[in-house]
Structure 1
Amino acid sequence: MTGEPRGAGPTTGRADDVGPVTGRAGGDGARRRAVITGIGVVAPSGIGADAHWKCVLAGQSRIGPITLFDPERYPSRLAGEVAGFDALHYADNRQVVQTDRWTHLGFAAARLALADAGLPEMADDPYGYAVTLASSSGGNLFGQRELQRLWRGPARTVGAYQSIAWFYAASVGQLSIRHQFKGPCGVLAAESAGGLDSLAHAVRMVRRGTPVVLAGGTECPLSPYALTCQMRNGLLSTCPEPALAYRPFDVAAGGYVPGEGGAVFVVEDLAHARARGVRGYAEVAGWGASHDARHTDRLAAGDPAQYARAMRLALDRAGVRPAEVDVVFPDALGVPRYDRSEAEALRAVFGTRPPPVTTQKPLVGRAHQGGSALDVATALLGIRHGVLPPTAGLDRPAPGCELDFVRESGPRRVDVALVGARGFDGFNSAVVVRRGPA
């Protein structure tokens, strides 16, 4: 996997190829391989990878009325929320007071990922650990509360933590401080595509000599301000029925339902993992990105040629032929013209017989970068368990969207999975994860 991700924190810019580099671990950086050794899921599907896996296998919808604020005045009133989440189980009171729910979800997902990988919460070698997460909208609920305080309160002030809690890099900074991860940290800003870009950036950090990197992302786009911003794109579903509101690729598709949460991963140098006696879930084998160069509006549908280019780049860099892909997890926006465009891109890459396609976003909502990270978590669990969860929200494929959708879960060999994501305003990304070496 080569190439510099878009919008990286301390190392912005892109390069098409990464030559041999020498880092703290020594040796040839281009030959280092990165495996995912820990998964932390905090999503409407559940807290923890096991809870998420059981939910998606059973096809249990977690879409319901928004409870984080009163949505009565809005045409879109449904979302996927993380039920029963208590931030104080994962962070102390000071950290919770100073940060937004989006970061609280990140605290939880990171702790779960580190525990799953068998790594300490406090780094034994701070400069050997890094954080590179994706972000989209920042600390919405915190910012909403403080701005209302500014407008309505007699003091006309905001709290001292407004700037750092709403800031798009808040989760990266807070996790770096919380766990004392002092390696090369950064934040990726590419909307939904950022959840995949963060994995690419993590692999680059591993190849440059940082043995352990936290990647992925969480999101909480559920506040009056955040919902209003999303409504401007004209892509939100206004269907009041939770079971029918979000239906990608279906003849009844009418937009997406927002969701919160996501997943955080431990991306680790394969040699470092082997030295600890850990095999991991899968190898991050390839990544590709492209851009449509067009603003997302009520007429846009995404450029299938550029999206296909990102997928081909990921496959080429992974050394994987299209016929070797066992499953695709698509972006699945649920907007008819976008769904047709995505199906066209898949056919351009895989021909007339694409591999099985499955999506679980209709169960949990679209959580921007958290949603694409959650797709990666589902792909990893599918590889681990040898099962693919069924496609959610699909009864009858719309014209132009006739793909090989997974209709029922069942045992099957899964060695290679491709995850695709398209961020608003033209971002396209794809990641290939492959069953790791023994």
Structure 2
Amino acid sequence: MSDSTVTTPPPAPAATPAAAPPPSRWRTTFNEIIGGSVMISILAVVLAMVAGGILIAVTDENVQAASAYFFARPGDTFAEIWKAVSGAYVALFQGAVINPNRPDFVQQIKPITETLTFATPLIAAGLGVGLAFRVGMFNIGGRGQMLIAAACAGWVGFTLHLPWGLHMLLAVVAGVVGGGIWGGIAGLLKARTGAHEVIVTIMLNYVAFYLVSFLLRTPVLQAPGSNNPKSPPIDETAVFFDLLGPQFNLHFGFILVIAATVFVWWLLNRSSLGFKFRAVGINPNAARVAGIDVKNMYVYAMLISGGLVGLAGVSQVLGTVTTGFSSGIDAGIGFDAITVALLGRSKPWGIFIAGILFGAFKAGGFAMQASQGIPIDIVLVVQSLIVLFIAAPPLIRTVFRLPDPSKPKKPKAPKRPVPATTGEAVAAK
């Protein structure tokens, strides 16, 4: 009788963990949308509005009075907070978009036309600053370029007496060329001497301001028989015509900035010059190796940038301040344009939307101050906070728990199955 032996089967090989499935295309797209630059800009505005609401509530007298007995009746404090914040932002909306409380339709829609009027020079100047950003340059000279452009367009507007249409066209060209030349000086100095454009443009702001101030006290720009540093009124043949009639302030300048936005979009995305601009902005050394004349790109970029900012000055002198201008015609738009360009991520249509938003802040801020007694400085604080939050995308992503598209989340590896022991394998058999 032969001994029966039990054959022990070899241990089962360890199972190779299956590769984790890649994230779906819809999931990837969703993460890019909610974590991208557009969403960051939107949430920066939302967060700035929330911070502005807190500031409004803290400085409101009724809220302060109700907070004195907060622990006795906390509901009164929250009610006053809601009343102060909602009242301020409702007034802001009604002053910037539409006011249904006004008697007729024309008066109801007038706020949105005021917003577009305020946005016109902001968009033009923002396009100029944004174009320079895309080439890797910082055009801080918006004020000087606007002043020179306004002086050139204004001089043509009240000195030459030409037929309607031709006069306006010549004044626009003179202003754009003047702003372009003033911006091109900074580009030429950077290209030929290596001078930093930030320093040069800031210094050119002072040169332009004192130059225009001087000319406004001479017969070149000063109104005849006037002792004030103010120019004569612009001829009717050079003034921008109203788009919606005399009851609205919206003028032909808004059509010009739409055309300028389309031009900048085409220039950056469809032209060979725009390709060179973007290549220099990304890496000037690589662009130089590829055969691009980087120095000339700096000059061309600042010429076009200055011309676009000059269009903002033209809109001011031919569309808004047609009764004569002074050295304060820039109204801080040259510096606000930097904020608009940052909010628009230096993209033409983004700048267009950002300009309208800041135009709404300007138009609605005055209504908020008039109806609620809230200082216009609150709006300036909100604008400043927008810039602060846009400059810190990690802060926005942390607050709202957004994914970072540049760092895709690694899928979790599946758990490795535990190999069966020899005894378990025999028992299973």
Give yes or no for TM over 0.5: no
Q: TM-score, normalised by structure 2?
A: 0.23
Q: TM-score, normalised by structure 1?
A: 0.23
Based on CA coordinates, which of the two structures has the bigger radius of gyration?
Answer: 2
Q: If each structure's helix is expressed as a fraction of its own residues, which one has the higher value?
A: 2
Q: Which has the bigger relative contact order, CA under 8 A and spacing at least 6?
A: 2
